[in-house]
Amino acid sequence: MKTIMKTIKAFFGIFTITAALAVSAQAQPASSFVWTKLASLTNLPSGWSIYQPGMIDVNRGIIYSLSNDGIFWKYDIQSNLFTQLPVTGWPGVVGQKIYNPDENTIWLTLNGRGQVYRLPVTGGAVTLVGASGASTADYSNVGFWNSVTHKFSTVFGYGLGAVRNWRWEFGTNDSDWVQIEANTPGRAPWQRVIDGNGTATLDIGGQRLFVYGEMGNSTGNQGQLDAGFSNNGNQFDWLKDLWELDFKSNTWTNLIPLNTSIPIAGGIVYFPPKNILFMVNGYQIPANANPSVYVTGLWTFNVGQSTNWTQVVATGDVPNVADEVGFTANSFYDQNNQRIIHFNNAGVYALNLGPQIGLLKAVKPSFSYLAVGTNYQLQVSGDLNTWTNQGSAFTATNSSMVYPQYFDVANWNQLFFRLQVSP
């Protein structure tokens, strides 16, 4: 612990502020994360399938699953119960599905990015919203609800022997999909496929999308490999990067540069209370092949601070990566309980943070050159304009005194003191 003395001239006399700062002592981030397998669930129901990060009603605590052939489930986080819902009028080969919070419905598209349909969250008939045709160049893209534009959005995609980095949106007042960003080879972020492995996640409250790695290259053309990159069997590069799309500014920010992340790929999920990303389990990225070595583990990335993923220790009912092979594992943030909900073939798991330690910055005023026998009043201000008496006036019994009370300050230069002679 290190002490810093700051001298300030007051209206009457001089006093100093003794600030106790945690310099040598540091509050460490959570060193323990605890997994719990939720009771009474030994596996997932037949047909459970989630490929997109936006299939959650955060406020009501409901996660939805809709398979490509129309099997519809909802999972209630609070009750830990699955309920299958009816579907009629299934339109055909469906690509992306998202939860639309404005309507409280599910929106889905045909063949990657085609006609848009809606489905009530209670189940029922699928009805047409709009758009026309179908795109065979948007398979394995990311679909999400943009809460700023209030539209169904998609980004990236694969088809016709190439990957892309374009972005599209569709809203209830649009006659067709509107292109927001063009497909531009070599533009960051590079063209890629998001192949249903949970490598995209939403910060719903902060209105952001995070995308981690997956496969692509600088030109978009299948079979073209960039020097220095691992590849998945001479088809595409393993990109090993991390990006953030801010819906408010409509801009991309690179968080991990191309080809520099740890050689692990896996599903990610955003945890708002700590502004961090979790990567739950994954697979090792080899030099020139598709992954074959799966890894059970937990990694964190502190947004705005980290430069790469850091593996952390997790205890409890750790979900085994073997239960995720051949399954699109997905994780979601449970807002009501501030935890992560994770699905795999063996059931549903909850990840909670262990005990946390924090340090508070505090100041304690001390006074010098006081006149013995004189009454003084300590005053406090947050802006140097409005001053408030702190406690009762006191009589100086010595030329130097220490005020008996500490003051917590979350940020420096936001708390000011002065001492005045009191009648």
Buried/exposed 258-286: b ≥16 CB within 10 Å, e otherwise: bbebbebbbbbbbbeebebbbbbbbbebb
- Rounded mean pLDDT, 156-165: 95
Are 262 and 287 contacting, i.e. CB atoms less than 8 angstroms apart? no
Task: Give 414's pLDDT tier (boundaries 50, 70, 90).
Answer: confident
- Rounded mean pLDDT, 278-288: 92
- Rounded mean pLDDT, 264-273: 94
> Taking 70 as the threshold, does the pLDDT of residue 48 lie above it?
yes
Q: What's the rounded Cα separation, in Å, for the pair 34 and 58? A: 22
Q: What's the rounded Cα separation, in Å, for the pair 239 and 216? A: 6
Give the list of residues 6+ apart from residue 346 with CB closer than 8 angstroms, or none.
Answer: 37, 42, 43, 319, 320, 323
**pLDDT score for 13:** 41
Least confident of 112-121, 151-160, 402-411: 402-411
Task: Give 329's pLDDT tier (boundaries 50, 70, 90).
Answer: low
**pLDDT score for 7:** 36
Buried/exposed 133-157: b ≥16 CB within 10 Å, e otherwise: ebbebbbbbbbbbbbeeebbbbbbb
CA quadruple 22, 28, 29, 31: dihedral, nearest 10: -160
- Rounded mean pLDDT, 2-13: 38
> Taking 50 as the threshold, does the pLDDT of residue 3 lie above it?
no
**pLDDT score for 14:** 43
- Characterize the bridge pairing of strands 87-88 and 124-125: parallel
Are 192 and 163 contacting, i.e. CB atoms less than 8 angstroms apart? yes
Are 385 and 416 contacting, i.e. CB atoms less than 8 angstroms apart? no
pLDDT tens profile 217-256? 999 999 999 999 999 888 999 999 999 999 999 999 999 9
Q: What is the mean pLDDT of the chain?
A: 88
pLDDT > 90: percent of the chain: 65
Backbone angles phi, psi at 322, to 5 degrees: -65, -25
Read off the tokens for 311: 């593996």
Backbone angles phi, psi at 272, to 5 degrees: -60, -40
- How many helices and strands (H and E) does the chain possess? 0, 39
**Amino acid found at 303:** V
Task: Give 194's pLDDT tier (boundaries 50, 70, 90).
Answer: confident
Domains annotated for the chain, with CATH where assigned, are: 2-27+364-421 (no CATH), 33-353 (2.120.10.80)
Are 19 and 36 contacting, i.e. CB atoms less than 8 angstroms apart? no
pLDDT tens profile 81-104? 999 999 999 998 888 899 999 999
- Rounded mean pLDDT, 404-413: 76
Tokens 């999400």 — which residue? Answer: 144
- DSSP element (H, E) containing 378: strand 375-381
Question: Angle CA(3)–CA(7)–CA(10) in degrees, nearest 5?
Answer: 140
> Taking 70 as the threshold, does the pLDDT of residue 2 lie above it?
no
Cβ atoms < 10 Å from Cβ of 44: 20
pLDDT top residue among 297 and 39: 297
**pLDDT score for 197:** 65
**pLDDT score for 146:** 97
**pLDDT score for 56:** 96
> Taking 80 as the threshold, does the pLDDT of residue 387 lie above it?
yes
pLDDT tens profile 300-314? 999 999 999 999 999
> Taking 60 as the threshold, does the pLDDT of residue 188 lie above it?
yes
**pLDDT score for 4:** 35
> Taking 60 as the threshold, does the pLDDT of residue 27 lie above it?
no
pLDDT > 70: percent of the chain: 89
Highest mean pLDDT among 31-45, 207-221, 316-330, 402-416 belongs to: 207-221
**pLDDT score for 262:** 97
Least confident of 6-15, 40-49, 136-145, 234-243: 6-15
DSSP for 259-298 reads T-S-SEEEEEEEEGGGTEEEEEEEEE--SBS----EEEEE
Task: Give 105's pLDDT tier (boundaries 50, 70, 90).
Answer: very high
